[in-house]
Structure 1
Amino acid sequence: MSNEMHENVGETDAIEPVAKRFKSSIISQHVGSMEFQKIFSNHWHGSKPVKTDRIEIITEPYRICKISDVLAENTFISKLKDELKDVESCRKNMDLYQFEQTKDLANVKSESIVQLYRTFESDLTDWMRNNTKIDLSGKISISSARYSDTDYLLCHDDNMGDRRIAFILYLSENWTAQDGGSLDIFDTDENGQPNCIVRSLIPEYNSLIFFEVSDKSYHQVSEVVSTDKVRISINGWFHGPLLESEIQHRPEITYKYFKPDETEVDLLSYISKIYLYTTIVKKIQRTIEKDSFIYLPNFLLENMYEKLCDDVKNENIKWEKTTPADVQNYEIANEDTLPTVLKNFYNIFKSIHIFHLLKQYTELDLVPEADHMKPRMKIELQRWSRGCYMLINDKEVIQPYSKKDAETENNENHKTDEIDRSLKAELKDGSSIAGKIEDTSNESKSAKSDDQPNFSTKHDINTIDEEILIVDKETATQDRIVVKNPHGKTQNSIGSKSSKGKEKLPISRTASSANCTKSVGKASMSVAFHQSDSTDTEDYSSNPPSDPESDTSQSDNEEKDNRPGTLDVLLQFHTENATDDTTIDYIDPKQKDGALIHIPPQDNHLCLVYRTADTCRCNEYVNHYCKGYFYTLVCSYYE
């Protein structure tokens, strides 16, 4: 597939005349004229762009055609739009898209819809086959879509199964660029992955856009930002014989990993003391063991957090855009350009002291106590704003150590061993990095120094659960915040009373996503979906996550269980700029009920999440109600 020309320009003389076939059709007569077809063929097959009042052909990054005034009568369009209002539809809501879609129009019996369907199935299919020289089977898929405020369909290629030509018929009048909802066209990099938007086509009333589906046909529907207009279209595919796939093998995801750094750091200069006491450390450990995550409010000292908030906005930081666009779109800070305070804080997460503290929090093997133990981590400071997202992606590969890495680390093992022995000694004499430990049940130790929190007063051990905000079944069912969304419905946010998170659920792309409900047990979250029949019109990506229904042998399951997990550590800044629904979500993409954890945007809350190899992290799309930047520091630790 892709943009290869299957015919030479000279073959345009062999085009079969089709003008007569449109005499009684709802298609405008100019579309069937010989002159129009010759213009199309010369430029389509010759890869020569053209733009007139009635036709536009774009040749880069792949061939796209727009035919204006494609339907002959406005009265027919009005009847068609009226009939579409009565067609059964449901809202589609997942990581890749958010909009309203009808069922396949093949089964709708309304007069105008039947006439349109038959015309596309016969006359228009013949026109496409004769003029594009693309082999078509006569099978078509058609549905109608409605995009209202904040709706979108992110970067995808349509390349699935036997789809050969994708099309969109626009039915909204007086649509402008200021309304959003443009058809954005992406170019591809040297690996065939979508990169940047190079063209944006504004929906034009009564125009038909179509293109050959290929491994390069990446496009999206940009977010609708109009609060009072609805973007209405009829869209689908002309199908044909299956072709041999030419999709390039994507390179493995690679990361820069860091081993524990022996540089001395003073955690008490950064972290609230309450989170360094043995009693609290043990409570955190028990919660993570039970629930696989915990949310720690006011984790950093207030003055330090304020300094960091100032530093993340420093104009000297260089931000780099992430790719590929069908997986993610946000910015990452260049570590070499970080200002001093932020740079020092950034390095703390690489420190052996943090590795050791996280080991106490989780009991994961994050401290190299033997030569074969090689814990490591990766870190990035992310900047988020309108239009950013991270989609479901279960293709992350933890890169194995190379021989060179092993030789280098073996030469330095004795340094790490010395540090670890020193830390163990500190733990033994009670002066560990987790702070000087006091047994709060011992009344004889009620007199404490200034650097030791008094648990019997403000941080009473009986109320410490409230301090850490351990989300359990009771608090989850009692504390709910009802928030509004642009579509006139309400959704529940589950968590503490200060939580801003909206219950918007990214799910497996193999699941239908209408009418979702959530059940909460302890701190984990599961989703039950009211399934609708899956149709061809619901699938957009050529590379969806694995099929949740596929058979898995017992040995495969055992192998998965033995794979090491990942500890994610997240800290957010300037979340006052974020909208309620910009949550960070953990899901199992292979499960239809795959939503596990939703992290709402909140300042100075450290979140620890233990995820298995089958769990992935994604971020909700940031809509236009976000008026500035917000930031997330994400660290991932590996045993």
Structure 2
Amino acid sequence: MTSKRKKSDGTAAGGKKKEKREENAEISGIIQDADIKEKVKEAWHRRKPFSHGGLVLDCQPFPHCVLNNFIQNEGFLENLQKELLALNFHEKSNDLYKFKQSDDLKQRKGAHIPGLRTVIFDQFRHWLSDVLDTELEPVVDVSCAKYEYTDVLLCHDDELEGRRVAFIFYLVPPWEASDGGTLDLYSVDGQYHKDTLLYSVSLVSPITGWMAVCLASRGRSSRLWLFLENCQPKDVVKSLVPQWNTLIFFEVSPVSFHQVAEVISEDKCRLSMSGWFHGTPLERPPRYVEPAIPRNPHLPRDEELLLEWVNPVYLDMAYQAQMQEEFEESSEILLKNFLKEDKFKEVNEALKKTEIQWTRRGPPNKRNYERAELQALPPCVSTCWELLSSEAFFLLLSNFTGLKLHFLAPGSDDEEEEEEEQDCAAGSTRSLEAAAPEQQCSKRNERKSKEPSTPVCRGELRRWGTGDYTLIHDTDLDNMEFALDLLLYCGCENWQSDLGGFTSYIASGEDEELLTVSPEDNALGLVYRDKETLRFIKHVNHRSSQSLEDGPVRRHFYDFSFVYYE
């Protein structure tokens, strides 16, 4: 709950407590002009740009409108800013964002917040309903947000049941694009497709890739939305700089992908009120599901590769047994100084060479980082990759974790088979509800006749720099099954957690972290996760690009990221 500030205890001459009077806000004259409203409405539905005075409507990459000088009385705005800054703010941080937010302001008391709320909920809502030609509900979500140094809201489309129009009202000091905090709009990968069998096709949607198709049906026309591409964000094609007393709104649609760029000013606060008008949402296509990443069995490399590369401490069988006990207890372990020192130094230096080809991996509503092309790796880096993909390493991981990642490794099925064989030999059952001995023996023989599953893996060599991240998303099928994650870090000497770049594990539907794996040179992290455990890489923020007192500018770190499946 937001705690309420103490009101003035002043009293009138008669001894009665003085009520704090709500101050009215006066909306821009452009909003009150009926002729301008009709022109905006026509431009919106024709998807044409329009501007008049402080109003600017643009339809690329999706329809959005900027209203400068939204409130006419300047004194009201200055007092509103003070009132907002006095609110209680809560730290908000997860895979998608980091900023400070107030509680919902729908019922907030005060002299100025209710005044602006009345303008937005009443006058502006009715104007917007007329422009969009759709009914907007009288209850509006609205809260206040503060974005300060390194705060960010990454790429998303605002989709949530009932959201129809998003809005942001800025109360910021003089602001430049170089301060960060811009509202960035993304293009998408859709294309127009015309079905020649339909008698007419007219573009009436805001969105690249969507068309309204008019169908003649019993004398009436109906609208069918078609989309034949992935509908995924590509590039930032427009950035709107926050300005004092400016309101921006846009329609929440399948392609309204946007972000709040990281604030890189160390002394400015991006203060805004924002929220959503609710109404009948636009039609949406089925969610795009990415093709599964190929998985491969181990490479035929023997233990000589382990002996050449891996710290001998981790090859000791007694130590492996100890590690397995720890891993089975906690499902995670961090192995420091994993590679031999000379091998690690060689790989660490080679990763900085320009001969490696790095490809940016997206889309930005799911991830943003660089991945190495395996065909152009320096020899030592390529050999390290082979090590992590090798048959000998699969067996080593089995010894570390107790998972059956190699046919020589014992597994839980082996223990069950041994128990069943003992039961069959004794001709007995464990309980009254258990199956008959002959049925148990039949099941055991059936399992033996099946081909054992082949352990597989997939891997990437990734480079992380300022602005890189991964996000949790509900179509990430590859990360929704039992698996062993491996991370081997390079180039991250003295990396601090406040720079981002750490891997966070959370339970599905929860924000609380279960585990954090921070970048650490030559440290190998192993984490076994189930279907309900999700992971993301926290946004690498602007601090990572600053100079250090004891070293050069930090630009990148690297990791070998592998996932192994039994």
TM range (shorter): 0.7 to 0.9
Correspondence for 1:565 among 482, 502, 511: 482
> Counterparts of 1:543-622 in structure 2 under 5 Å?
565-576=482-493, 578-581=495-498, 582-590=500-508, 592=510, 594-622=512-540
- The SS at the match of 2:384 is helix
* Structure 2: gaps spanning 5 or more residues: 1-23, 190-228, 409-449, 546-554
C-alpha distance 388-143 of structure 1, shift in aligned 2 (>3 A): same
Which amino acid in 2 is paired with 1:249? R
1:307 is matched with which residue? 346
- TM-score in terms of structure 2 length: 0.76
- The SS at the match of 2:381 is helix
> Counterparts of 1:277-316 in structure 2 under 5 Å?
277-316=316-355
Question: How many angstroms apart in 2 are the aligned matches of 1:304 and 1:43?
Answer: 64
Higher mean C-alpha deviation, range 389-398 or range 169-178:
389-398
C-alpha distance 244-157 of structure 1, shift in aligned 2 (>3 A): closer
- The SS at the match of 2:273 is strand
1:261 matched to 2:332: no
For residue 385 of structure 1, report the CA deviation from its aligned partner.
Answer: 0.7
Which amino acid in 2 is paired with 1:637? Y
Which amino acid in 1 is paired with 2:177? A
1:638 matched to 2:565: yes
For residue 576 of structure 1, report the CA deviation from its aligned partner.
Answer: 3.2
Question: How many angstroms apart in 2 are the aligned matches of 1:601 and 1:374?
Answer: 31
Question: How many angstroms apart in 2 are the aligned matches of 1:392 and 1:584?
Answer: 14
C-alpha distance 177-583 of structure 1, shift in aligned 2 (>3 A): closer
CA contact (8 A) 1:164 1:213 kept: yes
Question: How many angstroms apart in 1 are the aligned matches of 2:109 and 2:511?
Answer: 35
1:347 matched to 2:386: yes
For residue 162 of structure 1, report the CA deviation from its aligned partner.
Answer: 1.4
1:388 matched to 2:468: yes
1:66 is matched with which residue? 66
Question: How many angstroms apart in 1 are the aligned matches of 2:185 and 2:247?
Answer: 16
C-alpha distance 51-571 of structure 1, shift in aligned 2 (>3 A): farther
Correspondence for 1:318 among 357, 362, 383: 357
CA contact (8 A) 1:321 1:329 kept: yes
> Counterparts of 1:180-199 in structure 2 under 5 Å?
180-189=180-189, 190-199=229-238
Which amino acid in 1 is paired with 2:472? I
- The SS at the match of 1:111 is coil
How many residues get paired? 452
CA contact (8 A) 1:139 1:240 kept: no
| Percent of aligned pairs with the same amino acid | 33
Question: How many angstroms apart in 1 are the aligned matches of 2:488 and 2:244?
Answer: 46
Q: Deviations over 1:353-389 (max 9, x none)?
A: 1111111112211114684221000010111111111
CA contact (8 A) 1:394 1:589 kept: no
2:258 is matched with which residue? 219
- The SS at the match of 2:143 is strand
C-alpha distance 39-317 of structure 1, shift in aligned 2 (>3 A): farther
C-alpha distance 51-119 of structure 1, shift in aligned 2 (>3 A): closer
C-alpha distance 594-34 of structure 1, shift in aligned 2 (>3 A): closer
Question: How many angstroms apart in 1 are the aligned matches of 2:481 and 2:473?
Answer: 18
Q: Deviations over 1:71-99 (max 9, x none)?
A: 10211100111111233332212221111
> Counterparts of 1:179-578 in structure 2 under 5 Å?
179-189=179-189, 190-241=229-280, 243=281, 245-264=283-302, 265-368=304-407, 371-393=451-473, 395-398=475-478, 565-576=482-493, 578=495
Question: How many angstroms apart in 1 are the aligned matches of 2:121 and 2:291?
Answer: 42
Q: Deviations over 1:497-546 (max 9, x none)?
A: xxxxxxxxxxxxxxxxxxxxxxxxxxxxxxxxxxxxxxxxxxxxxxxxxx
1:56 is matched with which residue? 56
- The SS at the match of 2:542 is coil
- The SS at the match of 2:389 is coil
CA contact (8 A) 1:253 1:397 kept: no
Higher mean C-alpha deviation, range 209-218 or range 243-252:
243-252
1:174 matched to 2:213: no
1:159 matched to 2:180: no
1:41 is matched with which residue? 41
Which amino acid in 2 is paired with 1:383? R
Question: How many angstroms apart in 2 are the aligned matches of 1:315 and 1:629?
Answer: 13
For residue 167 of structure 1, report the CA deviation from its aligned partner.
Answer: 0.5
C-alpha distance 288-209 of structure 1, shift in aligned 2 (>3 A): same
2:543 is matched with which residue? 625
- The SS at the match of 1:344 is helix
For residue 393 of structure 1, report the CA deviation from its aligned partner.
Answer: 3.7
Q: Deviations over 1:229-280 (max 9, x none)?
A: 1001111111123x47414322245112110111345212211111111111
- The SS at the match of 1:266 is helix
Which amino acid in 1 is paired with 2:186? F
For residue 577 of structure 1, report the CA deviation from its aligned partner.
Answer: 7.4
- TM-score in terms of structure 1 length: 0.68
Question: How many angstroms apart in 1 are the aligned matches of 2:120 and 2:522?
Answer: 56
Higher mean C-alpha deviation, range 130-139 or range 625-634:
130-139
For residue 587 of structure 1, report the CA deviation from its aligned partner.
Answer: 2.6
2:215 is matched with which residue? none
* Structure 1: gaps spanning 5 or more residues: 1-23, 400-562
For residue 135 of structure 1, report the CA deviation from its aligned partner.
Answer: 2.3
Question: How many angstroms apart in 2 are the aligned matches of 1:204 and 1:329?
Answer: 28
Which amino acid in 2 is paired with 1:256? P
For residue 58 of structure 1, report the CA deviation from its aligned partner.
Answer: 2.1
Q: Deviations over 1:143-189 (max 9, x none)?
A: 11111111111111111121111101111121111111000111222
Question: How many angstroms apart in 2 are the aligned matches of 1:228 and 1:564?
Answer: 44
For residue 55 of structure 1, report the CA deviation from its aligned partner.
Answer: 2.1
CA contact (8 A) 1:578 1:629 kept: no
CA contact (8 A) 2:466 2:542 kept: yes
For residue 130 of structure 1, report the CA deviation from its aligned partner.
Answer: 1.1
CA RMSD, 1 decimal: 2.1
1:85 is matched with which residue? 85
- The SS at the match of 1:233 is strand
- The SS at the match of 2:493 is helix
CA contact (8 A) 1:143 1:235 kept: yes
CA contact (8 A) 1:583 1:620 kept: yes
Question: How many angstroms apart in 2 are the aligned matches of 1:58 and 1:333?
Answer: 38
1:31 is matched with which residue? 31
Question: How many angstroms apart in 2 are the aligned matches of 1:245 and 1:39?
Answer: 26
